[in-house]
């Protein structure tokens, strides 16, 4: 007897006793609290299965399947396959009444909802959990001591130093040192250490915990000490706002959230994982723009406190169209993308920030005149 | 009840009757519930998918079934996590202990990290065959057709020996015998798989297998040579290889299935390179164009390709088959591979 499909109308069923793959044909019907299988072979007895003994009722290709609960260690569950959709629905309803815990009801509703309903539920759940995880994990930085930033910085520092040639030049170090000192006060949680890198690149970056790298190309290209002062203020702000640690936490949250969802329950979804990783990286980049703005705002406050205007910083940007970047140290793709030219949007809000400030635009107060700066700024250029 | 030799000439294909939209729905609820439970639902999600795939794969009018439960998989994961944590703790203890003890005997404390590293490498080396055998055993023990379970009877010891010997041979022959390892594993797995009381058989020859693999070898050589000539030639060969791999994959599928039999009834592989080619690239395009969201459809396409191109000559004498239940199959190996993946990701982060 080899059959290819069930006939939905005739109420026929096949009974598999779990001891042999040879099934026996028969009829299935439902009573108030049990199902009955009567074999076509009249010499065999009718099997009665109480509804409470049904472990599973599922849709299979071309029909439906019932599996009984396994009661003893050596007892084998029985399976009955049938094709009648009306019978299926009646058994399903009877079972629903039997198992009506809150969790089961919810899972049942989800299972039986339309594809649109499932997708909408998934979209909502993913959006809420994604947002909560990313924000929640980032928020946890409030509970982490500043020593975490320092430890992170200490791990990255030797790797960064290895990539570059460090320059020692007393006048420059003194000047930058006193700039840094005037930018920090007793409320600062981090101690800043300055490293001048001998490189034509016009860049500056801050490691978590307070290490700040300034590239000699940036110093040489500056037209006033106020420009560098503004850039240092921006980097100090990155450190103070713990942007490296927060980027790390945020991306960890994002990667965890996406690892939950991507290919959920399916083996061998590597291609999808690859796409997810790439879009995560792009998302992380979007966050880093928000951090830039935060750092600019705090830098403006710091400059204002010292009565130095933002004009130096703005002038430098206008001339060079660069973006100051904090080194996240983890992702080269991110680094590549973030070193692209700054947006006009940033320029706009920088100018807005600057217009509200009263300042004298001079660093004479800490002993650095424009003349002195011009004399020393090329100290680390070969 | 089963008439033998009913249609001796005709071949019956395995059929995958699952629908892409159904898989999409399963994926959506899996993703939602996994997200909401911070990952715990993963185990139930995997079972859910596995069950759907089995319940919609049909042979001789009867569908397969998958009997694992989420709870069982979750327990396996918890147990495995316990083992891994214990192992890490023991290794850390050994490391710090040895660092103190070795200098007392006038040795270099650096040996402590040597010892620990070697132990870890050896343990993970042994773990790979253990996992391969244990996972397959669990998977087979939880899969059924007509309410009779499959089972896997491979032994870790034999498996280890086989892998070790073949690897050694591969190294000695400069990698030329490397594909033989895959062949041996496949042969071993087929021959140690049973449905009820009856085992599957495999009668493929290594020589025929190598005739197919030789095409891979030709392409590798062509790639290596073209690299020295011109990079555009290299890219051209690479593209040709990516396309032609479908024909090699189809030939391998056919080779394996056409040499597999059950109770004297032979299976047959009937995949064409063209089918494999179109399925592979259509599903790749689908995944990329939908940014990954449409992958359940690609999954269904792949299942259909494999099922439709696997045929069985005729129904074996089912009435001589007696069901058996492998009580020793454990979800802990599945858990070990999941837990080690999780710990790996965690250690990468820190
Ligand atoms: Zn910045």
Angle formed by the axes of helices A146-163 and A243-261, nearest 10°:
90
- The token pair that represents B130 in the structure block: 């253990």
Helix/strand/coil (H/E/C) assignment for every residue in chain B: CCCCCCCCCCCEECEECCCHHHHHHHHHHHHHHHHHCCCCCHHHHHHHHHHHHHHCEEECCEEEEECCCHHHHHHHHHHHHHHHHHHHHHHHHHHHHHHHHHHHCCCCCCHHHHHHHHHHHHHHHHHHHHHHHHHHHHHHHCEEECCEEEEECCCHHHHHHHHHHHHHHHHHCCCCCHHHHHHHHHHHHHHCEEECCEEEEECCCHHHHHHHHHHHHHHHHHHHHHHHHCHHHHHHHHHHHHHHHHHHHHHHHHHHHHCEEECCEEEEECCCHHHHHHHHHHHHHHHHHCCCCCHHHHHHHHHHHHHHCEEECCCCCHHHCCCCCCCCCCCHHHHHHHHHHHHHHHHHHC
Asked whether residue B213 carries a pLDDT value surpassing 80, the answer given is yes
DSSP assigned state of A245: H
Q: Residue B76 to residues B135, B142, B209, B337: CA-CA distances in angstroms?
A: 11, 14, 37, 10
How many other C-beta atoms lie within 10 A of the C-beta of residue B276? 22
Whether residues B24 and A79 touch (CB distance < 8 A) is answered with: no
**For position B49, what pLDDT does the model report?**
94
Q: Ligand 1 centre and the CA of A205: distance in Å?
A: 8
pLDDT per residue over A127-138, tens digit each? 999 999 989 998
**Model confidence at A337: pLDDT above 60:** no
Read off the pLDDT of each residue in B331-343 and give the average, rounded to a whole number: 86
Rounded (10°) angle between helices A311-320 and A225-240: 100
Q: Residue A27 belongs to a domain with what CATH number?
A: 2.30.29.30
Q: Give the C-alpha separation, B126 to B119, whole Å.
A: 11
Question: Is residue A61 scored above 80 in pLDDT?
Answer: yes
| Domain membership flag for residue A230 | yes
pLDDT in the model for residue A328: 40
Q: What DSSP letter does each residue of A163-202 carry, written as one string? A: HSEEE--HHHHHHHHHHHHHH--TT-----EEEEEE-SS-
Centre of ligand 1 to C-alpha A296, Å, is 8
Residue A261 within any structural domain of the chain? yes
Residues A189 and A336 in one domain: yes
Answer whether residue A35 is part of any domain.
yes
More confident residue, B54 or A162: B54
Question: A152 and A86: one domain?
Answer: no
A175 pLDDT tier (thresholds 50, 70, 90):
confident
Please tell me the distance from the alpha carbon of residue B244 to that of residue B216, in angstroms, as a whole number. Answer: 9
Does A334 score more than 60 pLDDT?
no
B83 exposure class (CB count in 10 Å sphere: 0-12, 13-18, 19+): middle
Assign A329 a pLDDT band (cuts: 50, 70, 90): very low
Q: Are B194 and B200 in contact (CB under 8 A)?
A: yes
Residue A332 has pLDDT above 50, yes or no: no
* Chosen domain end from A95, A114, A134: A95
Q: How far is CA A6 from each of CA A25, A79, A84, A163, rounded to the nearest angstrom? A: 11, 15, 8, 71
Distance from CA of A251 to the nearest CA of B (A): 10
> Are A73 and A172 members of one domain?
no
Per-residue confidence (pLDDT) for residue A187, from 0 to 100: 76
The answer to whether residues A202 and A312 belong to one domain is yes
Higher pLDDT, residue B278 or B99? B278
- Do A370 and A237 reside in the same domain of the chain? yes
Q: Is A61 inside any structural domain?
A: yes
Q: Which of A14, A16, A20 to mutate to test the interface with B (most CBs of B within 10 A)?
A: A20
CB atoms within 10 A of CB B90: 12
B1, pLDDT greater than 70: no
Shortest distance between the Cα of B95 and any Cα of chain A, in A, equals: 23
pLDDT for A161 equals 85
Question: How would DSSP label each residue in A113-137?
Answer: S-HHHHHHHHHHHHHHHHHHHHHHH
Q: Is A205 or B199 the better-scoring residue by pLDDT?
A: B199
User: What residues of B are in contact with residue A261 (Cβ under 8 Å)?
Assistant: 31, 34-35
**How far does the CA of residue A115 sit from the closest CA of chain B (Å)?**
5
Q: Considering the entire predicted model, what is its pTM?
A: 0.83
pLDDT score of A4: 44
- Whether residue A109 is contained in a domain is answered as no
Mean pLDDT of all residues in A164-168: 85
* High-pLDDT (> 70) share of chain A, %: 86
Q: Are residues A206 and A347 in the same domain?
A: yes
Residue A46 belongs to a domain? yes
CA of A136 to the centre of ligand 1 (A): 23
Rounded to the nearest angstrom, the minimum Cα separation between A76 and chain B is 9
Q: Indicate yes or no: CB of B29 within 8 angstroms of CB of A121.
A: yes
Full 3-state SS string of A144-159: CCHHHHHHHHHHHHHH
Query: What is the C-alpha separation between B313 and B316, in angstroms, rounded?
Result: 9
Q: Which two tokens stand for residue B29?
A: 């609820």
What is the distance between the alpha carbons of residues A189 and A187, in angstroms, rounded to a whole number?
6
Q: Which of A79, A265, A278, A331 to mutate to test the interface with B (most CBs of B within 10 A)?
A: A265
- Average pLDDT of the residues in B246-251: 94
| Centroid of ligand 1 to alpha carbon of A292 (angstroms) | 5
Residue bearing the bigger pLDDT, A10 or A313: A313
Q: Among A269-283, A320-334, B103-117, which range has the highest average pLDDT?
A: B103-117
Mean pLDDT (chain A, rounded): 81
On chain B, the residues whose CB falls within 8 A of the CB of A61 are: 15, 17-18, 55-58, 63
How remote is the CA of residue A134 from the centroid of ligand 1, in Å?
A: 21
**Inter-chain CB proximity B28 and A61 less than 8 Å:** no
pLDDT beyond 70 at A121: yes
Nearest to A366 by CA among A297, A303, A296: A303
Chosen from A40, A58, A60 to mutate, greatest number of chain B CBs within 10 A? A60
CA distance A371 to A374: 5
Q: Read off the pLDDT of each residue in B284-293 and give the average, rounded to a whole number.
A: 88
* Mean pLDDT value across residues A13-25: 90
Asked if B34 contacts B41 with a C-beta cutoff of 8 angstroms, the reply is yes
pLDDT tier at A256 (50, 70, 90 boundaries)?
confident
Same domain, residue pair A34 and A180? no
**Which residues of chain A have a CB within 8 Å of the CB of B58?**
61-62
A16 lies in the same domain as A162: no
Q: Are residues A304 and A201 in the same domain?
A: yes
Is the confidence at residue B4, as pLDDT, over 50?
A: no
pLDDT band at residue A343 using 50, 70 and 90 as cut-offs: low
Ranges A239-253, B36-50, B99-113, most confident: B36-50
Q: Confidence band (pLDDT; 50, 70, 90) for B17?
A: very high
**Chain A residues with CB inside 8 Å of B284's CB?**
271
Is A275 in contact with B291 (Cβ distance < 8 A)? yes
Interchain contact, B15 vs A269, CB within 8 Å: no
**A125–B33 C-beta distance less than 8 A:** yes
Average pLDDT, chain B: 89
Domain match, A147 and A85 both: no
Instruction: Give mean pLDDT, residues B202-208.
Output: 92
C-beta atoms of A260 and B284 within 8 A: no
Q: Does residue A124 fall inside a structural domain?
A: no
Structurally, chain A folds into a number of domains equal to 2
Asked if A242 and A147 sit in the same domain, the reply is yes
pLDDT at residue B272 tops 90 = yes
Q: Coil, helix or strand for A213?
A: strand
Output the pLDDT for position B198: 92
> Containing domain of residue A46, as a range?
3-95
Q: Is A120 among the domain residues?
A: no
HSE (side-chain half, CA atoms, 13 Å) at B310: 20
Q: Which one is predicted more confidently, B333 or A7?
A: B333
Segment B96-108 mean pLDDT = 81
Whether A341 and A200 map to the same domain: the answer is yes
In this structure, the strands spanning A63-68 and A54-60 are antiparallel
| % residues pLDDT > 90 (chain B) | 56
CB pair distance less than 8 Å for B31 and A81: no
Instruction: Give the nearest chain A residue to B7 (CA atoms).
Output: A2
**Strands of B143-145's sheet in order across:** B12-13, B310-312, B265-269, B260-262, B198-202, B193-195, B148-152, B143-145, B62-66, B57-59, B15-16
């Amino acid at each position: 007897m080899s059959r290819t499909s069930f006939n939905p109308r005739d109420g026929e069923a096949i009974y598999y006793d779990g001891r042999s793959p040879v099934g026996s044909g028969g009829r299935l019907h439902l009573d108030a609290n049990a199902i009955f299988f009567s074999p076509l072979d009249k010499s065999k007895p009718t099997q009665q299965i109480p509804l409470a003994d049904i472990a599973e009722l599922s849709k299979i290709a071309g029909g439906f399947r019932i599996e009984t609960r396994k009661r003893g260690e050596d007892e084998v569950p029985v399976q009955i396959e049938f094709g009648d959709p009306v019978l299926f629905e009646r058994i399903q309803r009877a079972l629903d009444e039997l198992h009506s815990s809150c969790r089961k009801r919810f899972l049942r509703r989800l299972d039986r909802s339309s594809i649109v309903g499932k997708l909408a539920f998934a979209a909502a759940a993913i959006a809420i959990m994604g947002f909560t995880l990313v924000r929640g994990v980032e928020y946890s930085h409030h509970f982490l001591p500043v020593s975490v930033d320092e430890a992170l910085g200490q791990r990255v520092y030797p790797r960064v130093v290895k990539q570059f040639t460090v320059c020692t030049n007393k006048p420059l170090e003194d000047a930058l040192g006193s700039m840094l000192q005037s930018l920090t006060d007793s409320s600062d949680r981090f101690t800043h250490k300055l490293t001048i890198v001998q490189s034509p690149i016009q860049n500056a970056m801050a490691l978590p915990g307070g290490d700040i790298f300034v590239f000699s190309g940036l110093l040489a290209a500056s037209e006033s000490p106020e420009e560098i002062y503004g850039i240092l203020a921006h980097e100090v702000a990155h450190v103070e706002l713990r942007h490296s640690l927060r980027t790390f936490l945020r991306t960890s949250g994002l990667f965890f959230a996406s690892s939950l969802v991507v290919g959920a329950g399916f083996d061998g979804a590597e291609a999808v994982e690859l796409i997810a990783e790439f879009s995560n990286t792009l998302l992380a980049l979007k966050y880093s723009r928000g951090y830039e703005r935060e750092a600019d705002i705090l830098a403006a406050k710091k400059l204002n406190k010292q009565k130095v205007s933002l004009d130096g910083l703005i002038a430098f940007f206008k001339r060079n169209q660069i973006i100051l970047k904090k080194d996240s140290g983890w992702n080269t793709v991110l680094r590549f993308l973030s070193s692209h030219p700054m947006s006009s949007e940033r320029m706009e809000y920088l100018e807005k920030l600057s217009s509200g400030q009263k300042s004298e635009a001079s660093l004479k107060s800490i002993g650095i005149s424009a003349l002195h700066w011009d004399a020393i700024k090329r100290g680390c250029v070969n | 009840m089963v008439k033998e030799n009913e249609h001796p000439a005709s071949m019956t294909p395995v059929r995958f009757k699952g629908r892409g939209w159904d898989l999409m729905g399963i994926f959506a609820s899996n993703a939602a519930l996994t997200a909401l439970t911070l990952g715990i639902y993963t185990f139930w999600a995997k079972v859910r998918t596995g069950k759907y795939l089995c319940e919609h794969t049909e042979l001789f009018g009867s569908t397969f079934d998958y009997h694992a439960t989420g709870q069982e998989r979750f327990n396996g994961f918890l147990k495995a996590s316990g083992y891994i944590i214990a192992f890490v703790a023991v290794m850390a203890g050994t490391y710090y202990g040895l660092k103190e003890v070795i200098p007392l005997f006038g040795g270099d404390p650096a040996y402590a990290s040597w010892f620990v590293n070697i132990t870890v490498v050896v343990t993970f080396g042994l773990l790979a065959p253990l996992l391969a055998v244990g996972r397959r055993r669990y998977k087979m023990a939880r899969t059924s057709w007509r309410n009779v379970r499959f089972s896997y009877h491979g032994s870790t010891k034999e498996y280890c020996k086989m892998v070790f010997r073949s690897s050694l041979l591969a190294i000695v022959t400069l990698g030329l015998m490397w594909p033989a390892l895959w062949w041996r594993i496949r042969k071993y797995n087929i021959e140690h798989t049973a449905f009820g009381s009856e085992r599957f058989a495999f009668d493929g020859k290594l020589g025929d297998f190598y005739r197919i693999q030789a095409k891979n070898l030709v392409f590798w050589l062509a790639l290596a040579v073209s690299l020295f000539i011109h990079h555009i030639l290299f890219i051209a060969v690479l593209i040709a290889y990516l396309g032609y791999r479908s024909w090699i994959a189809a030939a391998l599928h056919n080779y394996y299935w056409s040499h597999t039999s059950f109770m004297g009834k032979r299976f047959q592989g009937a995949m064409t390179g063209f089918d494999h080619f179109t399925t592979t690239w259509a599903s790749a395009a689908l995944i990329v164009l939908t940014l990954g969201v449409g992958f359940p459809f690609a999954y269904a396409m792949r299942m259909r390709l494999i099922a439709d191109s696997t045929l069985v000559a005729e129904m074996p004498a089912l009435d001589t088959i007696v069901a058996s239940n492998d009580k020793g199959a454990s979800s802990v190996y599945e858990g070990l591979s999941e837990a080690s993946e999780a710990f790996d990701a965690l250690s990468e982060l820190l």
